[in-house]
Amino acid sequence: MSTYLIDTHILLWVLNEDPRLSEKHREIFLSGKDIVVSAVSILEIAIKKSLGKVVVRLDIVELLRDRGVPILAVNGRHAARVEHFPLYHRDPFDRVLVAQAQIEGLQVVTEDANIRQYDILLA
């Protein structure tokens, strides 16, 4: 069974019940399948919230904990892997997600065309 790494925008779409969330990705998140959320996604959302770029009324960490969703920490191997990527994507948060997916063997749940250019498993 695959473990799914939820991209930040997919997490935001789930939290905000955004109509752009595909039924496939909604099912992956809500089905109880093996999913993880990166600490980088929580950081990215926190920054966007503080800048007024997104609205999330829920406590993300509490919600994930209540659903039993692990939060994947960033380690040195993840950080170092980013150096070797082609610049398909300049967003540092997304580049770390790609590194985590590669190193941890995770399947990424995303709609981001730039992320899809990297050598990763996709959902």
Q: pLDDT, tens digit, for every residue of 47-65? A: 999 999 998 888 999 999 9
What would the pLDDT profile of 1-37 be if each residue is shown by its tens digit? 689 999 999 999 998 889 999 999 988 888 867 999 9
Q: What pLDDT score does 119 carry? A: 80
What residue spans of 16-107 are helical by DSSP H?
Answer: 23-30, 39-50, 60-67, 76-81, 92-104
Domain count, the chain: 1
CATH of the domain at 72: 3.40.50.1010
Give the residue numbers spanning the domain of 63: 4-122
Q: Distance between CA atoms of 122 and 47, rounded to whole angstroms?
A: 26
Does pLDDT of 89 surpass 90? no
Q: How many CA atoms lie within 13 A of 72 on its CB side?
A: 26
Laid out side by side, the sheet with 4-6 consists of 71-72, 35-38, 4-6, 107-109, 121-122
